């Protein structure tokens, strides 16, 4: 998986952040190429060499650049790591985290057959994951969810629709209300809030917004319109930890459940997600799978492992992110480099 690592050098420490767009504009308009361009040509010139009192000051420095939240998050989160190290605290402590373990689950893509889907669920349940998320579509909706629910009547089960439906599908979507799902994620358009409010009013199953919320302003719209009862927080999608903290407080005040999504991060981004998830507002299991589910060799140690007894991951206790970036591995896989 391609990715961009950002290292911020400040007063004897090195803070790390990860920028996580895809190769193409499939999840958002940002790509590896656009993020590299925005970082080098705009964000670094606005921030490198500046004196700041707190990591939240970085958001103000980057404000002239509109959008490009993933590029901004990679840079700002590195500053947060450096700041936490300078304070001699973990990132969790600096953010106000209250948990030493965070609940996690696993996500399963659309499978060729129901039997194949159940085999995947069996595998992850055996590994200790207590929450299962299943991708769904117009052609893969009720039957797969029914099959899982029949075999696992008590498991935490959610569906991720990846914007495959419209309001014309209300009656079909209401068929899943009887299955006791934890939520249905982003059933309608990736940039929609208003139609989700119309859909939520007609469904018992809680709607979870993902791509629609890309900053505090859209979060306020979600709350005002009652467009969903749950939020998938991806710190990369909302522009960094400063915005994530504001959104966290908005969710808590509105009694909206929250969990951390994932973007196939390395140990750097994964650690950031876990520290953020230690905050009180993260009440639902997140998509933070164990390192070895995706990587034979990560670029940070120690690897993240699942606590099988309670389907959690432990929050690192060292200063900053609490991980050690393995520079020899970074160098082995590096394809480009830039220093401001």
The residues annotated with a catalytic role in the active site are 135, 234
Give first-to-last CA distance, the chain, whole Å.
25
Query: Within its chain, how far is the Cα of 232 from the centroid?
Result: 7
Instruction: Say how many C-beta atoms besides its own lie within 10 A of residue 172's C-beta.
Output: 12
Q: Which residue has the tokens 């709607």?
A: 207
Report whether 241 contacts 76 (CB < 8 A).
yes
What tokens does 201 get? Answer: 């009013």
CA distances from 91 to 58, 79, 81, 313 (A): 17, 11, 6, 16
For residues 49 and 163, give the distance between their C-alpha atoms in angstroms, rounded to a whole number.
42
Q: Give the start-end residues of each E strand in 187-256.
A: 207-209, 230-233
For residues 79 and 76, give the distance between their C-alpha atoms in angstroms, rounded to a whole number.
5
Query: Within its chain, how far is the Cα of 262 from the centroid?
Result: 4
What tokens does 157 get? Answer: 């089960």
91, containing H or E segment:
helix 91-95
């Amino acid at each position: 998986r391609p990715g961009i690592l950002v290292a911020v050098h400040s007063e004897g420490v090195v803070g790390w952040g990860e920028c996580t767009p895809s190769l193409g504009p499939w999840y958002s308009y940002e790509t590896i190429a656009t993020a590299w361009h925005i970082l080098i040509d705009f964000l670094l010139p606005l921030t490198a060499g500046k004196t700041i009192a707190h990591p939240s000051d970085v958001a103000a420095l980057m404000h002239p650049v509109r959008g490009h939240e993933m590029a901004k998050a990679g840079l700002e989160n590195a500053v947060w790591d450096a700041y936490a190290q300078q304070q001699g605290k973990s990132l969790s402590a600096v953010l106000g985290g209250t948990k030493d373990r965070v609940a996690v689950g696993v996500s399963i893509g659309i499978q060729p057959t129901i039997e194949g889907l159940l085999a995947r669920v069996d595998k992850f349940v055996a590994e200790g994951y207590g929450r299962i998320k299943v991708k769904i579509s117009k052609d893969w909706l009720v039957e797969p969810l029914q099959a899982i629910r029949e075999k696992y009547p008590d498991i935490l089960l959610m569906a991720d629709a990846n914007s495959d439906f419209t309001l014309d599908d209300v009656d079909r979507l209401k068929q899943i209300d009887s299955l006791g799902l934890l939520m249905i994620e982003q059933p309608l358009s990736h940039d929609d809030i208003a139609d989700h409010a119309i859909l939520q009013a007609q469904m018992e199953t809680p709607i979870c917004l993902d791509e629609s919320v890309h900053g505090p302003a859209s979060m306020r719209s979600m709350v005002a319109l009652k467009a969903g009862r749950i939020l998938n927080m991806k710190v990369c999608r909302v522009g960094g930890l400063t915005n994530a903290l504001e959104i966290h407080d908005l969710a808590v005040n509105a009694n909206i459940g929250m969990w951390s999504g994932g973007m196939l991060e390395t140990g750097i981004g994964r650690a950031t997600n876990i520290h953020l998830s230690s905050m009180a507002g993260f009440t639902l299991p997140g998509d933070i799978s164990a390192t070895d589910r995706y990587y034979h060799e990560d670029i940070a140690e120690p690897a993240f492992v699942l606590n099988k007894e309670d389907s959690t991951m432990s929050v690192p206790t060292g200063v900053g992110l609490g991980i050690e970036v393995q520079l020899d591995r970074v160098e082995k896989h590096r394809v480009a480099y830039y220093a401001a």
